[in-house]
Amino acid sequence: MEVRSEGGIQVRCDKLPAPVIPRTRLQVWFIWVCSSILLWTCLVQLVTVGELWRPHFFERISNRLSHSNPLPLVIEETVRLRPPPPPSLLAARNYTSNGFLKVSCNGGLNQMRAAICDMVTIARLLNLTLVVPELDKTSFWADPSNFEDIFDVRHFIDSLRDEVRIVRRLPKRYQQKYGYQPLRMPPVSWSNEKYYLEQILPLFSKHKVVHFNRTDARLANNGISLDLQRLRCRVNFQALKFTPQIEALGSKLVRLLREKGPFMALHLRYEMDMLAFSGCTHGCTAEEAEELKRMRYAFPWWREKEIVSEERRSQGLCPLTPEETSLVLQALGFDKDTQIYIASGEIYGSEWRLAALRAAFPRIVKKEMLLDAKELQQFHNHSSQMAALDFMVSIASNTFIPTYDGNMAKLVEGHRRYLGFKRTVLLDRKRLVVLLDLQQNGTLSRNDFEVAVRLAHEKKMGQPSHRRVIVDKPKEEDYFYANPLECVCEQPDCDDLLGPGRRNSSDVPS
């Protein structure tokens, strides 16, 4: 109650409550809609979190949403349109590092690739921290590419974190520009676990950082524990992923080839560096032979200078010429309609040297013919990046045939074995040069030549086989990366895979 004075008269006023305005149906409906939207927004967020962490509670919510009516269907579609969550990281291996291993790889792309796999394996064996490898920039190819220009460095580090710790660079206190001098050395070639445990590991106690300045073939092919052999494969087949730019262009090459039907990848190793360093000049003019010899002498690190070409060829140590390759492919049953991708650099003698091969197989293509010049411009003067494109196409091809068993041929062979023993024709060059000479001089008929070539390669199609072991002669053994048998079968002895009852699906075309 309130008392007021008005003109000297006191007036008592009773204060009435404010009138209650009833809510309209529109207001009630509006509040209900807002509440529903808020509720569904919360549920969408819960579902999104559930996709990342996947506990059972959120999975049940997702299942219920998927079985609801109109509105939940819209929400499900909204969730589906979101970008997929990044893959969860593997749990990092917890270990006390014995020091830092720094490596400088030498050679071409595939020689360095195998070396990187070995270096990761050695770091794991010795409980070291591996610094992202340095790539060769001073060899014949003079490619300035760094590791991250060819390989996805983030994927490399993350995908192996459960095995070994990998860092992009040394801590400042261990860098040379801050006055620290690591021990630089090349480990002994073809060494086993005992060598690294007894000879190399103690060096880290004193130096903390050891720099391997040569990495090619520094780990034995055989006699390595199964878990380390399989780690070598894991690095090779899973961790060493090319950059998105290389992957995209390589995939485009494969797609363009497949649109035109099955294709063969021919690694025609008839390139200037190969001929110069091997001393193989069969089919070359005297002027060309002299040019190749001068090139060999121009590189001091190449020790073998005087080479008798015909002796080397008779031992099966020379790549086949394009003309010889043409005859062999025809003998193996490939016809003129075969689509052939030339996986190599510049052929010595350029296009005229391919004339005989192109006449027999007119559907020959190279990456320069399939891609626009602008697409390849980023790879110019980067031979390793170009080789990465050829590597991808070779892996994906229906048939792979190398004319020389160099590092690329071996690594592609091993990769294709890993992918299910895809057809890989491993040419027996020592036998072939004899047959080729007999056929060329008229001693062997064309029909007999073809029969002999096919018989010589019946068991050289990339079938499952044991790796050849030669005690105390590791260079003459079968290369681990060409036949990583421990990584393609479940059982250590692989008897089921190698049994006589297994039929090879990679027969020569008839």
List the pLDDT tens digit at each of the 510 positions of the chain. 454 544 444 545 454 455 544 556 666 666 766 777 767 666 655 544 444 344 333 333 334 333 333 333 333 333 444 556 666 788 999 999 999 999 999 999 999 999 999 999 999 999 999 999 999 988 776 789 999 999 999 999 999 999 999 999 999 999 888 888 999 999 999 999 999 999 999 999 999 999 999 999 999 999 999 999 999 999 999 999 999 999 999 999 999 999 999 999 999 999 998 999 999 999 899 999 999 999 999 888 777 889 999 999 999 999 999 999 999 999 999 999 999 999 998 899 888 889 999 999 999 999 999 999 999 988 888 999 999 999 999 999 999 999 999 999 999 999 999 999 999 999 999 999 999 999 999 999 999 999 999 999 999 999 999 999 998 899 999 999 999 999 987 665 666 677 654 433 333 343
Other Cβ atoms closer than 10 A to 69? 6
CB 141 within 8 A of CB 383: yes
- Nearest Cα to 147, choosing from 161, 159, 136? 136
- Which residues, other chains included, contact 199 with Cβ-Cβ below 8 Å and sequence gap of 6+? 188
CA-CA-CA-CA torsion for 143, 147, 152, 158, nearest 10 degrees? 170
Query: What single string gives the DSSP state of each residue in 322-335?
Result: HHHHHHHHHHTT--
Please state the length of the chain: 510
CB 115 within 8 A of CB 216: yes
Element (DSSP H or E) covering residue 49: helix 25-53
Count of CA atoms in the C-beta half-sphere (13 A) of 37 = 6
Element (DSSP H or E) covering residue 248: helix 244-258
Output the pTM of the full model: 0.80
Query: What single string gives the DSSP state of each residue in 357-379?
Result: HHHH-S-EE-HHHHS-HHHHHTT
213: tokens are 């300045």
Residue identified by tokens 């043409």 is 326
165-167/183-185 β-pairing: unpaired
- Nearest Cα to 480, choosing from 40, 141, 121, 65? 121
336: tokens are 């003129």
274: helix, strand or coil: helix
How far is C-alpha 396 from the geometric centre of its chain's CA atoms?
12
Other Cβ atoms closer than 10 A to 367? 21
